[in-house]
Amino acid sequence: QASRKTKKKEGGALRAQRASSNVFSNFEQTQIQEFKEAFTLMDQNRDGFIDKEDLKDTYASLGKIHVKDDELDAMLREASGPINFTMFLNLFGEKLNGTDTEETILSAFKMLDPDGKGSINKEYIKRLLMSQADKMTADEVEQMFQFASIDAAGNLDYKALSYVITHGEEKEE
């Protein structure tokens, strides 16, 4: 029979594994290996964490010697804690995948769909995207439409588009 201490340690390891397992599922094995190589290059003192000194040394190795402390501090503040490999992956996952969830994107589209049809007129969304907030160009809108399902009546299926935005291009079944 395992001691209470051993059981407690195993439970903690399982919790840590569950907490970090999501981030690893966001990447292919080859991507994780590339991130590990990048992390190892940046972890100059080989302590398993990237800190301010590691960032300074990394910049110096790239020829940039005069990096301001406040710039380095700002980079470190992007993480919610010490930057070990799992945190490093989380940071890149957020940068690469964007931070808005599919639910958030769907909610935004639903505000433009008061009847709850699941689609929005293509020309209407184009006008909005080109005239509001971070205005998109016509080319950017057309690029987005390439990934959108648009029916014969010119209505964009925003549920499918939200999926593509958050998960990548739809897989053919």
Share of the chain above pLDDT 90, in %: 46
Domain assignments of the chain as residue spans, ordered by start:
24-96, 102-167
Asked if the model's pLDDT at residue 9 lies above 80, the reply is no
Amino acid 134: pLDDT = 82
Collect contacts of 162-171 with beta carbons under 8 A, ≥24 apart.
162/102, 162/105, 162/106, 162/109, 163/102, 165/98, 165/102, 165/105, 166/97, 166/98, 166/100, 166/101, 166/102, 166/105, 167/102
Note if the pTM is more than 0.75: no
Domain at 24-96, CATH homologous superfamily: EF-hand (1.10.238.10)
| Domain 102-167 grouped into CATH 1.10.238.10 | yes
